[in-house]
């Protein structure tokens, strides 16, 4: 059977932000070291920090210092998460290459995560896009495949929100499976309505993250968020587990002949590095046993 898959995909590494946001704070120089390690592996798109209140997310303190330490790199996109216009203005002042703005299609989750209604978040998005001018803004839609508070989300409601975000100026849309409620069936159902010009941000809460990535790949999606070591998960969603591990995604994509431009061995080195920073084994299986092409 011939698989109809894209020739190449873009992997946005979110480990330095999503992977570390729920961890105990680590030294800024270690955060920079992790970013340098994934860049050395060939990653060219990295979410390096979040401009959020350090009182709420202490592990993301010093975001501007992280941006300055990495500096501009030819061919590298330094993305940062912003929750509101104030955070966006701080990020723009720091000189970032991309903003990611989180908004949820789940009313209850949006209020818990950013303290705003969905309508208020859309207006924040509009103001952020106006302030950003030539800096792209990716709207990351949380709970796109189901909410821990409201259950299944109607794909038609998601489509309405995505259209509103594009109208507000979003340059890209990423659908996030915040608490791992997606399945391949649900991925297909949503993409049938939304289309495949989106990114996917998937979590392994129920062990379906990698197979959901494959379902998105088969459908024609070419942008995926992954976290080195498989760390991550929203601190505002009970039971949320880590992201799809970058090295597990790259190992699969390599085997399928889908280009990422990322060196799997250097990526595994980065995963084992972050393991020493957080003081425990990362959940990634490929980090510990390697890709299937290796012999015992």
Of residues 2, 62, 42, the one with CA closest to residue 267: 42
Check if the beta carbon of residue 40 is closer than 8 Å to that of residue 251. no
Tell me how far apart the alpha carbons of residues 265 and 268 are, in angstroms, rounded to a whole number: 5
- The per-residue pLDDT for 1 is 54
Residue (of 92, 83, 76) closest to 41 by Cα position? 76
CB atoms within 10 A of CB 102: 24
Q: How many Å apart are CA 178 and CA 289, to the nearest integer?
A: 27
**What torsion, rounded to 10 degrees, do the Cα atoms 121, 28, 201, 95 define?**
60
For position 295, what pLDDT does the model report? 46
Contact (Cβ atoms closer than 8 angstroms) between residue 138 and residue 212: no
Count other C-beta atoms under 10 Å from residue 10's C-beta.
16
* pTM exceeding 0.85: yes
Q: How far apart are CA 117 and CA 23, in angstroms?
A: 27
Which residues share a beta bridge with 225?
Answer: 12, 201
Q: Can you give the pLDDT at residue 257?
A: 94
- 153's tokens: 């989300």
Neighbouring C-alpha atoms within 13 Å toward the C-beta of 10: 14
Distance CA 251, CA 274 (A): 18
How many angstroms separate the CA atoms of 81 and 114, rounded?
Answer: 12
Per-residue pLDDT of the chain (296 residues; tens, 9 = 90+): 567 899 999 999 999 999 999 999 999 999 999 999 999 999 999 999 999 999 999 999 999 999 999 999 999 999 999 999 999 999 999 999 999 999 999 998 889 888 899 999 999 999 999 999 999 999 999 999 998 888 899 999 999 999 999 999 999 999 999 889 999 999 999 999 999 999 999 999 888 999 999 999 999 999 999 999 999 866 555 555 689 999 999 999 999 999 999 999 999 999 999 999 999 999 999 999 999 865 44
Which tokens in the block code for residue 118? 């969905």
Q: What is the pLDDT of residue 149?
A: 86
Question: Cβ-count burial of 154 within 10 angstroms (0-12 exposed, 13-18 middle, 19+ buried)?
Answer: exposed
- CA dist 187 and 216 (Å) reads 7
List of domains in the chain = 10-289 (3.20.20.70)
Tell me phi and psi for residue 54, to 5 degrees: -65, -20
Question: Of 230, 231, 199, 205, which Cα lies nearest the Cα of 217?
Answer: 199
DSSP secondary structure letters along 202-261: -B-TTS-HHHHHHHHHHHT--EEEEBGGG----TTSTT--PBPBHHHHHHHHHHHT-B--
| Per-residue pLDDT at 241 | 63
**Residue pair 51/89 in contact by the 8 Å Cβ criterion:** no
């Amino acid at each position: 059977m011939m698989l109809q898959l894209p020739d190449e995909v873009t992997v946005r590494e979110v480990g330095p932000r999503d992977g570390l946001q729920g961890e105990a704070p680590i030294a800024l120089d270690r955060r920079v070291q992790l970013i340098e390690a994934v860049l050395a592996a060939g990653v060219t798109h990295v979410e390096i920090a979040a401009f959020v209140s350090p009182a709420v997310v202490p592990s993301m303190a010093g975001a501007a210092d992280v941006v300055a330490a990495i500096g501009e790199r030819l061919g590298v996109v330094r993305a940062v998460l912003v929750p509101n216009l104030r955070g966006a203005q701080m990020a723009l002042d720091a000189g970032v290459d991309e903003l990611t703005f989180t908004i949820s299609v789940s009313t209850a989750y949006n209020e818990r995560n950013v303290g705003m209604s969905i309508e208020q978040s859309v207006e924040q998005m509009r103001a952020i896009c106006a302030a950003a001018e030539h800096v792209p803004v990716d709207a990351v839609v949380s709970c796109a495949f189901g909410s821990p508070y409201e259950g299944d989300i109607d794909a038609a409601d998601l489509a309405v929100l995505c259209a509103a975000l594009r109208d507000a100026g979003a340059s890209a849309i990423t659908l996030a499976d915040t608490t791992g409620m997606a399945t391949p069936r649900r991925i297909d159902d949503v993409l049938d309505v939304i289309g495949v010009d989106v990114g996917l941000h998937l979590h392994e809460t129920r062990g379906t993250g990698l197979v959901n990535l494959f379902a998105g790949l088969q459908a024609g999606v070419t942008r995926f968020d992954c976290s080195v070591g498989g760390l991550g998960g929203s601190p505002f969603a009970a039971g949320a587990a880590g992201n799809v591990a970058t090295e597990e995604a790259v190992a699969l994509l390599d085997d399928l002949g889908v280009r990422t431009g990322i060196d799997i061995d250097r990526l595994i080195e980065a995963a084992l590095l972050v393991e020493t920073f957080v003081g425990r084994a990362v959940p990634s299986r490929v980090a510990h046993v390697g890709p299937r092409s290796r012999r015992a």
